[in-house]
Amino acid sequence: MMLKQQLKIISKEIIDAKIKYNRIDDEIKLLAVSKTRSAEEIKSLYQLGLKAFGENYLQEALMKQAHLKDCDIEWHFIGPIQSNKTALLSQHFKWVQTICREKIAQRLNDSAQRQNKVINILVQVNLNNEDTKAGILPEALNNFCQKMMLYPHLRLRGLMAIPKKTPILSEQENNFNDLLILFNAHKNQFNFDTLSMGMSEDYPIAIKKGSTLLRIGTKLFGERKA
């Protein structure tokens, strides 16, 4: 019951933001971030109509996926990638949003090739130049994306970022604006169609700034215990 209620609230807020910010004709995907949540919870949301789910930890994701074989879920990987796990990633995920190392991209491409697949990828951007955060710095982005184009089994779709957490929404809006500028600067060259930004605390302003993919966990499922 709670999931249904939360989904309804979020769906309404997404529509409201789309109207408010003149994006009513744009497709904006809601990705349910299901880390720490059970397969049963995922199934409930799936039955309510959500089809895209994001996971951060491979082992945890594989266990849940085994219980959800009958559901036609579009799985996104949104966590840090270990280079020896790329074969499992390409086998079990349609999208990998956290590409920021060449070696990993190469390995993912090779495993996708062996599996006769093409994986949708996003390049993760380290917008605020945070030491603790993964991602490509803005000034290195063009070069990195050019390299991604050389992998026939990876399909570069756009950018993803987790800007520094801030309680000040106008600061976050500036971050999203910087990401939008970066996205638009590369969009035509690389045929981008996906800008993954916006989480539970800030997704309406992410919509304002051009997000096409919202990654929402807490607001859907409630607070995580871990």
Ligand X SMILES: *Cc1c(COP(=O)(O)O)cnc(C)c1O
Least Cβ distance, residue 45 to ligand X (angstroms): 14
Binding residues among 162-191 for ligand X as defined by CB under 6 A: 162
| Cβ 211 vs Cβ 27: under 8 Å | no
215 binds ligand X (CB under 6 A): yes
Least Cβ distance, residue 8 to ligand X (angstroms): 17
Closer of 53 and 144 to ligand X (Cβ): 53
35 binds ligand X (CB under 6 A): yes
Binding residue for ligand X (CB under 6 A) from 30, 78, 105, 180? 78
Task: Report the alpha-carbon angle 137-34-182, nearest 5.
Answer: 20
Closer of 60 and 110 to ligand X (Cβ): 60
Name the residue with the smallest CB distance to ligand X.
217
Sign of the torsion formed by the C-alpha atoms of 62, 68, 8 and 28: positive
Q: How many residues bind ligand X (CB under 6 A)?
A: 12
Binding residue for ligand X (CB under 6 A) from 33, 73, 112, 182? 33
Look at residue 25 and give its three-state secondary structure: coil
Look at residue 122 and give its three-state secondary structure: strand
Least Cβ distance, residue 56 to ligand X (angstroms): 5
3 binds ligand X (CB under 6 A): no
Cβ neighbours of residue 91 closer than 8 Å, sequence gap 6 or more: 111, 115
CA–CA distance, 146 with 137 (Å, rounded to integer): 14
Look at residue 180 and give its three-state secondary structure: helix
In the numeric block, which tokens belong to residue 100?
């920021």
The site for ligand X (CB under 6 A) is made up of 33, 35, 56, 78, 162, 199-200, 215-219
